[in-house]
Amino acid sequence: MADQVPVITIDGPSGSGKGTVSQLVADHLGWQMLDSGALYRLVGYAASSTDADFGNENEISEIASNLKVDFDAGRILLAGADVTDLIRTETAGNNASKVAAMPAVRAALLDWQRDYARSPGLVADGRDMGTTVFPTAGVKFFLTASAEERAQRRYKQLKEKGLPANLAALTAEIEERDARDRSRTASPLVPAADAIEIDSTVLGIDEVVRIVLQKAHDVYATAL
């Protein structure tokens, strides 16, 4: 069924602009949006807040299978508690990256993610949307940006949310997290063979959105 729903996958490393681009594209089309990183962040947050053992994959995947999450008017509730901002800290990002390296956790989140493919269409943002979760998607993009640019963007985002931020530490953390995401064996961060790669450092977000919408129109003309 999911195969019949139009899907646009937008993968890439942290701070490449994929979250912003995905949201703008989904808003423009009136499609669902899957922020798959939020799911890994929720697992990492739930694990750390219950003092789970990050070395025990079974324990962490049990947590992933039993998460009680509600997405409510832009807020994210975990077992009824609002964790929208708590899962966006750098610590939460690093915990997310750790649990994301566990195959059993990725397996536990697979059906949940695929379930987002509903009419009229889905824009899926992540690392392995085009390779693993939605391999048959008709439109696939892989966004990159220089490490400096990505750290600057994250810095600005955190400051805007009133969260603590340090540019040098952010650059180091982004590079460390990317290295882990790229080198893991379970669904590593790599472009799908049929993904269009775009460097958003040069183009800027608006131009990237325009390119994605153009491609979506070419492929899914009847659905738009």
Tell which one of 5, 6, 10, 14 touches ligand DC (CB under 6 A).
14
The secondary structure of 10-61 as a DSSP string is EE-STTSSHHHHHHHHHHHHT-EEEEHHHHHHHHHHHHHHTT--TT-HHHHH
For residue 61, state whether it binds ligand DC (rule: CB under 6 A).
Answer: no
Nearest-angstrom CA–CA distance, 21 and 112: 22
Q: In Å, what is the CA distance from 172 to each residue of 12, 104, 112, 179?
A: 18, 28, 32, 11
Nearer to ligand DC, 104 or 223 (CB): 104
Question: Per CB under 6 A, which region of 70-78, 120-128, 141-149, 212-220 contacts ligand DC?
Answer: 120-128
DSSP assigned state of 134: S
Site string for ligand DC, 76-95 (x = CB under 6 A): -----------------x--
Provide the minimum distance between the beta carbon of 9 and ligand DC in the complex, in angstroms, as a whole number: 10
Tell which one of 26, 83, 128, 165 touches ligand DC (CB under 6 A).
128
Tell which one of 26, 145, 170, 181 touches ligand DC (CB under 6 A).
181
Q: Give me the half-sphere count of Cα atoms (radius 13 Å) on the Cβ side of residue 33.
A: 20
Of 122, 123, 121, which is closest to residue 21 (Cα–Cα)?
Answer: 123
**Angle of CA points 3, 187, 158, to nearest 5°:** 100
**Which amino acid is residue 224, in one-letter code?**
L
Q: Which of residues 24-43 bind ligand DC (CB under 6 A)?
A: 36-37, 40-41
**Residues near ligand DC (CB under 6 A), total:** 14
Question: Per CB under 6 A, which region of 60-68, 73-81, 126-134, 192-200 contacts ligand DC?
Answer: 126-134
For residue 130, state whether it binds ligand DC (rule: CB under 6 A).
Answer: no
Question: Per CB under 6 A, which region of 57-65, 76-84, 121-129, 209-217 contacts ligand DC?
Answer: 121-129
For residue 216, state whether it binds ligand DC (rule: CB under 6 A).
Answer: no
Bridge partners (DSSP) of residue 9 are 124, 140
Nearest-angstrom CA–CA distance, 10 and 61: 25
Q: Which of residues 136-175 bind ligand DC (CB under 6 A)?
A: none
For residue 96, state whether it binds ligand DC (rule: CB under 6 A).
Answer: yes
Q: In Å, what is the CA distance from 96 to each residue of 28, 194, 201?
A: 29, 27, 25
- Residue whose CB is nearest to ligand DC in the complex, by number: 37
Residues forming the site for ligand DC (CB under 6 A): 14, 36-37, 40-41, 93, 96-97, 100, 126-128, 177, 181
